[in-house]
Structure 1
Amino acid sequence: MSSRTGRLDRRLQAVAPHGQAATAAGAVVELRDSWGQVQGHYDLETLALPKDMARMLAEAFRQHHAASTPEMCRGCWKALQSFARFVAEDGAVRSLRDLDTAAVGRYIAWLDRQVGPTGEPRSRKGRANVLSGLRQLVDWMKRHHPGALAQRIDFPYRVYPDLNAQPRKRLPEDQLKTILRACYEDINAAWARFELGREILRSAAVPQGASVQLHGLVRALAGVDGGVMPARLTLVAHGFNMAAIAREGGLRSLAGYLHLTGETAVPFFVALAIQLAANPHPLARMGRECLRAHPLDEHRVIVEWDKARGGGKVRRAQRRSFDRRRRHAAPNLIDKLLAMTEPLVERAGRDHRGFLFLVVSEKTRHIAPISLSTLTHTLKAFIARANARIAIWNQAAPERARVPLPDFAAVLLRGSVATEHYRASGGDILHVQQILNHGSAVTTEAYVIGPSTEQLRRETVARLQKLMVSWLTGPAGTAPPSDRPMPAAGVRATAPFGHDCLNPLDGSGPGAQTGRVCAHLGGCLRCPGLVIPLDEAHLARILLAKEEFERARERLDARRWELLYASSYRILVQDILPDFPEAMHAPAAMLAKRLPPLPMLE
């Protein structure tokens, strides 16, 4: 029988010799976004590198970072700039063939001798990042053009071991509250200014709280560039009186009547960083569609964002829920940010319209998410502005003196919040892991390690050892000391699975407080917040759990199984499984055979 399919061409295509692809494209790297717009232009011919090395590194740069974020590409460019300075000073690397293991060793020693702008040696983290940027490109060349390199070129496995061995500075609880108070004061002032600006633009009449001059000036500024604060030269070209603008606070102050600015974004950013315990970079690139309705509590809202990993190629979901009834809860702050950035959305690039923290660059006039460099610069101004306000308060009311803000950076907030949660929970690392949205408790431990948490850990171990020693050395027949009463012989031991916790607000769950929603809402079999989708995947996992309960019943003491696990088994068999249709059981059983086995109960 003849086939209608055309004949397949299975001949191997000849591969061009190494170096031709890089030569054809030259030493210029031009990276584009998903819309075809140029988002990065890097010319390696401007660096002091041999021509063959510049072209090959450009090809590696172009291919390896084709899907990376602009921040990753800028980091790679800085790594190439650093390596080019080494090549110029070393003098022994005259071609790509001279890049061998010995050259890598000399480059590492050269990095160790470099100093920063302050005259101090570069940090180990900075040196590691620069070396890693070069190593990624060399590894790409070793995979795709091995013949162009020397026969032996290796990087040491761990040049800078234990980068996080010394924990970062942590801000205590009182300092975090001081920072939040200053943030809320600035947020209230910025929101009042923006609300007044919206009232000025809505009405031709002068609203209460605005002068005639301010009213006319704000309306005139909004009409120049579609509601966005124009550049100074543009205002001069339109004949604006710059002295009148200066009398009303200047361009930065007047921009706050129209939209979010770099200065007004800082208190929002810091407050959200503390409430969400978020990393600075993912928070700066939080999306506008970040609020979700809570499925069970009408007063709570879920805040969702993602954390990029692997140069932006992998994204990990992060989420926290908050009660909207609190004035400065994260969802309420996000609502204000959405309103203050609405005038900027249409003017932003297509790749930037979905971000929350949109600001206008004072240099390029581009509208984009706030950068970490801008955040660092404006954060210092925020601290100085808040401390000046606190100094005036302390001078006027010394009997109610306030503590000034500490000198802090945005990178310190996540670890500080994690440490305070760790202390408040009595050393519960799993609770902090849930707050930080970590996949492993090992990662969480790196955030909370420090002198204060180590002291808490030693105190906990000492207390438990004291209880154990008192139990062993006590009179024979005494029961072990416990804060909870032991279950009676005929009473169900439902505590391990929370089967008697039918009210998520009564505080009977582990670690819960009366009047507050249980932290384990939806995690117990009889919890009113438990939601089980009726699909084959969930039914397969339920069947696996049922089989494990039955195997444990055959293996364990009958009295112990009845005391600890019988309630869970009956809920699965009598309450949950009957809700699944019979037609779904057969394919779910087949799927369960392909799933990994559950761990043994005991």
Structure 2
Amino acid sequence: MISSIIRVSENRCDLLVDKSGRTVAKIDLSNTLLSSNLATGFLRAIAALHGHSTVKSQVATLYRLRYFVSFLEKSGLSSRESLPNDVMHEFHRWLCKTHLMNTTQRAIQNEVLAVLRWCHRNFSRIVALDMDFKVPEISLNKDSISHRKRLDEIFVKQVLAICYQKIEAIEIRILYGRALLERSDLSEEDQKISYIFKSLLRVGSGLVPQIDDINRPGIKLLGLVRNTGGLKRYRKLFAICLEDILPFYLVVLIQSAGNAASIISMDRDSIRQHPLRDDLEFLDWNKLKVRREQRVDFPKDKHWSAPNVLRKLIQLNENLCSLAESSEQSKAFLALGSISQVAAVPSRQTLHNALADFISESHLSDFDFADWRHTNAELHFKKTGNVKVSQQRLNHQSVKTTSRYISSKEFSETEYRALHWFQGSLEKKARGTSPDKELHKEISGKGRQETVFGFSCRDPFSGLDGITESGQRCLSFTKCCTCPGAVITLDDVHVIARILSAKTTLEKAKNSADIEGWGARFQALYADTLLTINNSILPFVPESVVVKARDLAMRYPTLELE
């Protein structure tokens, strides 16, 4: 879960404070020339519009708003109590003259529009009542859009192989350090190292001390430590260090296709059992930007699967939880600081520094953390030819969003509609009215069967769901809504009655899930089906059929979903 942040307002500045009382960021307008009225209104707007989002997002909002503040200061408007009705048009012209990229200009303008619209509704004394918000949109051209790298499969395997080697070396090192402290059957050399190691921990009250702590009268450890590798060696035997986190992080990031900032904030309890299959497990985490749960499944028996790599890390850094601040004790990617005795999740800059060293030492081509999400989308699409596979891997709600991550195909609006949610066939009864008679001949054979939510299936043994092997009976009974083998006869009253019965069952289950606390399970198993029925099927059913089907729907038994 995302840690709670408290907002404390003081002197034209909002402090973002975590549970331990530490100020993690400032939304600060105290060093500007804004009037008290304008500063108060802008801060309230940021809190209302973005207070639910991450600290990083709120700081980014302030960064964009500061361009508007700069414009107001240069235009002599910052000291005013209320802004004129044409201020957005003037700002638009000013912004277009800057050397910022078009994408940045658009983001800034949209942010300022959102802030002023909120103020117009809720803090109206700082904007003109007849404020004109209809400013020209800043257009984007191809040159202004930055393109992420799509790394090829060979490179992906190369990076993962290097990470696996480094993880094995880290695991051997930490387990060796624990053996020095716990075992008595040590070699003569290891007994010497064990004596020094235990002595250091006594001086440091359970931690490896600093150099000043052992360079004191009466403590004869300095020479021994220097002759056996120095304090850094003993710190690395004691705990996972900041530079150790990178290979674990890269493996989870690459395999999960998650957002870089969200993955590094993953909790220690992120590994979950699959609700239906004993051979699978999930990684669950929150996408920080939108605070929405993300989920990817993995086979349990793969030694280097992301959940198993995360397990290794959690076991290796378990001694650091008590050394972290309360807001980070539940985090998976904890490491001991290089100087301080506090455990923490590595900062963004620390990770980038470690990545630069990793690339240099391994003689790899340059890449960035954000490249892996695009790479996942591209590789999954190339393998399957189905953008839905990429969409599910990236946990996108819209296939249109996913298409932006894929460079190998441009999607038209027609393709979006064809790919969105329901990939099966919507048809009429086979009375010669169908545009594809061969289709009806195919689905009218013994292969066609009914499914639990009212969908018909061309052939449950065909492997059309993309998961089940051809020849085996499909068990993906909650995925019919996205399967190309699904068929809905729109003018068959009995078919639509079963669809309406399923809709009622799903809506009741959703209400129960919200009340009883299993909403995440409902989203994972049933939400797609309900959305497909409401958005992609029922709008195309003739009203006369719906009326007759409603009466008939009550005769069909409803499922108990949990």
Fold agreement, TM-score > 0.5: yes
**Root mean square deviation of aligned Cα:** 4.7
- Structure 1 residues 301-380: aligned runs within 5 Å: 301-310=281-290, 315-362=291-338, 367-380=343-356
- 1:29 maps to 2:14: yes
User: Match for 1:96: what amino acid?
Assistant: R
Give, in whole Å, the separation in 2 of the partners of 1:242 and 1:306.
46
Report the alpha carbon displacement of residue 203 of structure 1 after superposing the two structures with TM.
3.1
- Per the alignment, residue 274 of structure 1 pairs with 254
The match for 1:149 among 122, 127, 134 is: 127
- Per the alignment, residue 552 of structure 1 pairs with 492
Change in 2 beyond 3 A, CA 1:555/1:179: closer
Change in 2 beyond 3 A, CA 1:44/1:488: closer
1:96 counterpart SS class: coil
Give, in whole Å, the separation in 2 of the partners of 1:133 and 1:248.
57
Change in 2 beyond 3 A, CA 1:516/1:346: farther
Change in 2 beyond 3 A, CA 1:40/1:235: farther
Report the alpha carbon displacement of residue 318 of structure 1 after superposing the two structures with TM.
1.8
- Structure 1 residues 93-242: aligned runs within 5 Å: 93-97=77-81, 99-100=83-84, 104=88, 122-130=100-108, 134-150=112-128, 152=131, 154=133, 156=135, 158-159=137-138, 161=140, 167-203=147-183, 206=186, 211=190, 214-223=193-202
- Per the alignment, residue 283 of structure 1 pairs with 263
Deviations 1:238-291 (A, max 9, x none): 979778767766666544323332211111111111111111111111111111
Retained in 2: the 8 A contact 1:30–1:62?
A: no
Change in 2 beyond 3 A, CA 1:549/1:260: same
The match for 2:476 among 518, 521, 527 is: 521
State which structure, 1 or 2, has the greater radius of gyration over its C-alpha atoms.
1
User: Match for 1:70: what amino acid?
Assistant: V
Percent identity for Structure 1 against Structure 2: 22
Give, in whole Å, the separation in 1 of the partners of 2:257 and 2:127.
45
Give, in whole Å, the separation in 1 of the partners of 2:319 and 2:395.
33
Retained in 1: the 8 A contact 2:468–2:475?
A: no
Report the alpha carbon displacement of residue 428 of structure 1 after superposing the two structures with TM.
0.7
Deviations 1:68-114 (A, max 9, x none): 422223324434555555556x2623413475566656656666676
Retained in 1: the 8 A contact 2:33–2:79?
A: no
Q: Mean alpha-carbon deviation: is it higher for 278-287 or for 45-54? A: 45-54
Retained in 1: the 8 A contact 2:463–2:470?
A: no
Change in 2 beyond 3 A, CA 1:28/1:430: closer
- 1:418 maps to 2:394: no
User: Match for 2:381: what amino acid?
Assistant: Y
Retained in 2: the 8 A contact 1:256–1:264?
A: no
Change in 2 beyond 3 A, CA 1:56/1:549: closer
User: Match for 1:346: what amino acid?
Assistant: S
Change in 2 beyond 3 A, CA 1:373/1:296: same
1:326 counterpart SS class: coil
Report the alpha carbon displacement of residue 195 of structure 1 after superposing the two structures with TM.
1.4
Q: Mean alpha-carbon deviation: is it higher for 198-207 or for 230-239? A: 230-239
Retained in 2: the 8 A contact 1:100–1:154?
A: no
1:95 counterpart SS class: coil
The match for 2:29 among 44, 65, 78 is: 44
Deviations 1:315-353 (A, max 9, x none): 322222222322211121011121123122123233222
- 1:432 maps to 2:390: yes
2:282 counterpart SS class: strand
Retained in 2: the 8 A contact 1:75–1:133?
A: no
Retained in 1: the 8 A contact 2:57–2:289?
A: no
Report the alpha carbon displacement of residue 233 of structure 1 after superposing the two structures with TM.
6.3
Give, in whole Å, the separation in 2 of the partners of 1:139 and 1:363.
47
1:200 counterpart SS class: helix
Give, in whole Å, the separation in 1 of the partners of 2:224 and 2:92.
56
1:169 counterpart SS class: coil
Give, in whole Å, the separation in 2 of the partners of 1:219 and 1:365.
17
| Structure 1 residue ranges without an equivalent (≥5) | 1-23, 115-120, 388-404, 456-479, 502-506, 526-544, 557-564, 577-591
- Per the alignment, residue 466 of structure 1 pairs with none
Report the alpha carbon displacement of residue 55 of structure 1 after superposing the two structures with TM.
4.5
Change in 2 beyond 3 A, CA 1:230/1:321: farther
Retained in 2: the 8 A contact 1:288–1:354?
A: yes
Give, in whole Å, the separation in 1 of the partners of 2:460 and 2:85.
65
- 1:497 maps to 2:457: yes
**TM-score of the aligned structures, taking structure 2 as reference length:** 0.68
Report the alpha carbon displacement of residue 369 of structure 1 after superposing the two structures with TM.
3.0
- Per the alignment, residue 418 of structure 2 pairs with none
- Per the alignment, residue 466 of structure 2 pairs with 511
Change in 2 beyond 3 A, CA 1:356/1:45: same
Change in 2 beyond 3 A, CA 1:517/1:433: farther
Change in 2 beyond 3 A, CA 1:61/1:420: closer
Retained in 2: the 8 A contact 1:99–1:153?
A: no
Report the alpha carbon displacement of residue 230 of structure 1 after superposing the two structures with TM.
5.6
- Structure 1 residues 362-511: aligned runs within 5 Å: 362=338, 367-387=343-363, 405-425=364-384, 427-448=385-406, 450=407, 452-453=408-409, 487=442, 491-494=446-449, 497=457, 500-501=460-461, 508-511=463-466
Report the alpha carbon displacement of residue 140 of structure 1 after superposing the two structures with TM.
3.6
Deviations 1:295-330 (A, max 9, x none): 4443332222221344xxxx3222222223222111
| Structure 2 residue ranges without an equivalent (≥5) | 1-8, 412-435, 451-455, 481-485, 506-529, 543-562
User: Match for 2:30: what amino acid?
Assistant: E
The alignment covers a number of residue pairs equal to: 466
- Per the alignment, residue 513 of structure 2 pairs with none
Retained in 2: the 8 A contact 1:252–1:261?
A: no
Give, in whole Å, the separation in 1 of the partners of 2:15 and 2:23.
7
- Per the alignment, residue 298 of structure 1 pairs with 278
Change in 2 beyond 3 A, CA 1:240/1:428: farther
Give, in whole Å, the separation in 1 of the partners of 2:137 and 2:214.
55
Change in 2 beyond 3 A, CA 1:64/1:297: closer
- Per the alignment, residue 239 of structure 2 pairs with 259
Retained in 2: the 8 A contact 1:263–1:378?
A: yes
Give, in whole Å, the separation in 2 of the partners of 1:363 and 1:52.
45
Deviations 1:27-76 (A, max 9, x none): 23223335665443455323454555444444544555544422223324
Change in 2 beyond 3 A, CA 1:72/1:195: same
Change in 2 beyond 3 A, CA 1:260/1:130: farther
Retained in 2: the 8 A contact 1:26–1:58?
A: no
User: Match for 2:12: what amino acid?
Assistant: A
Give, in whole Å, the separation in 2 of the partners of 1:141 and 1:153.
13
Retained in 2: the 8 A contact 1:27–1:55?
A: yes
2:237 counterpart SS class: coil
1:447 counterpart SS class: coil
Retained in 2: the 8 A contact 1:29–1:42?
A: yes
Retained in 2: the 8 A contact 1:248–1:254?
A: no
- Per the alignment, residue 70 of structure 1 pairs with 55
